[in-house]
Chains A and B, each alone.
Chain A
Amino acid sequence: MNELAIKDLLYKLADDQLILGHRNSEWTGFGPILEEDIAFSSMAQDKIGHSLAFYTLLQELGEAEPDTVAFTRNANQFHNSQLVELPNGEYDFSLIRHFLYDNAEIIRFEMLSQSSYEPIAKVATKLKGEVKYHVLHANTWIKNLGASTEEAILRLQSALDEAIPYALGMFEPSKYEQELIESGVYAGEEAVKTAWLQRIKTVIEKTELKLPDLSTIEPRFGGRYGEHTEHLQPLLDEMAEVFKIDPTAEW
Chain B
Amino acid sequence: MSLTSLDPRVTRLNLPEGEAPAIEPKPELDQFETYEVFHQKKEGAAYTYVGPVHAPNEEVAFLFAKEQYSRRAACTGMWIARTEHIQVTPYAGDGENVYDMVRAQDPTEQSEQPEPYEIFHLKKRGKAHTHAGRVMATSYQEALQEARNQYGDKGPIVNVWVVMSKHVLQSAEEDKDMWTTIPEKKYREAIAYKVMDKITKYKEEHKTTAS
Q: Residues of A at under 8 Å CB distance from B?
A: 26, 29-30, 35, 38-39, 42, 45, 126-130, 132-133, 136-137, 140-141, 143-144, 238, 251
Contacts and interface: CB of A to CB of B under 8 A. Distances in A.
A129 B71 contact: no
A45 B185 contact: yes
B175 A30 contact: no
Nearest to B174: A132
Contacts, number: 56
B180 A42 contact: no
22 contacts: A29-B7, A30-B9, A35-B63, A38-B67, A38-B71, A42-B188, A45-B185, A45-B188, A126-B181, A128-B177, A129-B176, A129-B177, A129-B178, A129-B180, A130-B181, A132-B177, A136-B175, A140-B60, A140-B62, A141-B60, A144-B56, A251-B193
A238 B11 CA distance: 13
A137 B68 CA distance: 14
Contact of A42 (B57, B62, B71): B71
B16 interface: no
Contacts of B175: 129, 132, 136
A177 to B, nearest CB: 29
A39 B63 contact: yes
B57 A144 contact: yes
B152 to A, nearest CB: 38
Contacts of A39: 63, 67
Nearest to B59: A140
A45 B67 CA distance: 13
A127 B181 contact: yes
A242 B68 CA distance: 30
Contacts of A30: 9
Contacts of B64: 35
